Amino acid sequence: MIENSPTGQNMERTRNVVVADVLSRHRVACGIREIEGGALRSRPGKRILVAAGALCPGSVAKVVFDIVAGLSDYYFHIWVEPGKERFSLHAARRCLADFGPETPSNFEIVSSRDRIRMLAPEIRATFLNLFTSDSWFMPFSLERGIPIVTFSHSVCYFEEFPFSSNPLAPKVAWQRRAYILADKIVCWSNIERQLISRFLPIVSEKIKVVPLCQKLPKVVPVGRTRPSKGDLRVLFAGRPLAKRKGFEYLVNALRELAAKGCDVELTVADAFTNAARLAQFRFSEALRGIEVRWLSDLERKEMRRAYRHAHVVVAPSLYDSWCKVVTEAIAEATPVITTDAAGVTEYFPCDEIPRVKAGDSKEIAIAIEHLLSDYESHLNASEKARERLKAEFTLEKQSSRLRKALGLE
């Protein structure tokens, strides 16, 4: 048991100190009661509070609704910050389009704290999403004895933004508290688990690894055109301005290929229009001489079309707890090249998902050249990975693993 080990005792002492600190600075006017810390325990009620802050049209929102759909016997109250309701509803609509006739209805998007306080006795657990900057739900949950489950998407904040020089330092500080206060921490890969343990060794015994699922399209595209040196279509899906996505290393690799006479068409698909415009400006000089299509704010059908149009999807992550782009590419039977820093790679052999050393432009260029020289084998590898995805990474299996990890069985 955690509580009886030296690490567990240190963790409990640290948690008590942080609890006292949080409550002393964030007192709530109603319903204050004695705190009951410790492991996730049985509570009455089938409601779960998801402290999302805002839902963005990206992988985090997809994960939220996969969890909602999988735990269909619970009702989810997805809390967003006031003023972000319309934006969040737009993101929700896009995510729900993937479910078709099986669209989940066991949720509401709410921005009223009064409503959440009224439902408190029936809330089974609070799921924290670390991308929100509003931390009121931590003292809310602690004062009412509601177990906290922290979902870890991006512990790299600790590494990318040192406290001494970063304006996001207060956000990073409360993220640390969210790890310490959690009864359980859920992450998607052992890469993420190891990073959390490195930055906060005191919480390592609370971490559960639950790999993500991937929904497959009903129709797999056929008749894909083959690439050549005069026609290579590369897709980068994600945020090129996010340092951890490694976009600059892909740019350097493509410049190297262009210098060798390879005619490359690069498509960059960013979820946010303004971010795409800024990235287009920032990388304009580096991408000179390479044909680039900048796409943003795509509907799901348009995004699938982009995956199918590409000869290869490159995800040059410097760090990614999962890298959903990889599984989305596999779902569309498109060959993919990623790095050894993407969490998803630990679930697939190298002959199904080729990976290179993170932060190495030359290795990316070599991998693309290898793909050009033997595209058929990459298509076959993609098909094998797709079969594994279909068998092992379903919504049902993710939900079963999550229930077991949280003791909700």
Which tens digits make up the pLDDT trace of 329-357? 999 999 999 999 999 999 999 999 999 99
The per-residue pLDDT for 197 is 84
**Rounded to 5 degrees, what angle do the CA atoms 376, 378, 384 make?**
110
Q: State the residue for tokens 């959390």.
A: 196
Q: What are phi and psi of 104, to 5 degrees?
A: -70, 145
Q: Does the pLDDT at position 179 exceed 60?
A: yes
pLDDT tier at 2, thresholds 50, 70, 90: very low
pLDDT tier at 93, thresholds 50, 70, 90: confident
| Mean pLDDT score of the chain | 82
pLDDT tier at 152, thresholds 50, 70, 90: confident
Question: Pairing state of beta strands 184-187 and 75-80?
Answer: unpaired
CA distance 125 to 339: 35
What letter does residue 231 receive in the DSSP assignment? Answer: B
pLDDT tier at 283, thresholds 50, 70, 90: very high
CB atoms within 10 A of CB 330: 30
The per-residue pLDDT for 384 is 94
pTM to 2 decimals?
A: 0.84
Q: Does the pLDDT at position 157 exceed 70?
A: no
| Structure confidence by residue, pLDDT tens digits, 103-116 | 899 999 998 889 99
Residue of 383 and 32 predicted with greater confidence: 383
| Structure confidence by residue, pLDDT tens digits, 253-273 | 999 999 999 999 999 998 777
Q: What percent of the chain has pLDDT over 70?
A: 80
What letter does residue 84 receive in the DSSP assignment? Answer: -
Cα distances (angstroms) measured from residue 71 to each of 4, 295, 387:
32, 34, 25
The per-residue pLDDT for 75 is 95
| Structure confidence by residue, pLDDT tens digits, 286-342 | 999 899 999 988 888 899 999 999 999 999 999 888 999 999 999 999 999 999 999
Residue pair 367/337 in contact by the 8 Å Cβ criterion: yes
Q: Which two tokens stand for residue 184?
A: 């359980």
Q: Does the pLDDT at position 26 exceed 50?
A: no
CA 345 from centroid of its chain's CA atoms: 14
Q: Does the pLDDT at position 209 exceed 80?
A: yes
Pinpoint the alpha helices (H) of 265-323: 273-282, 300-309
For the chain, list the domains and their CATH numbers: 2-212+395-406 (3.40.50.2000), 232-392 (3.40.50.2000)
* Partners of 224 in the β-ladder: none
Single-letter code of the amino acid located at 21: D
pLDDT tier at 219, thresholds 50, 70, 90: low
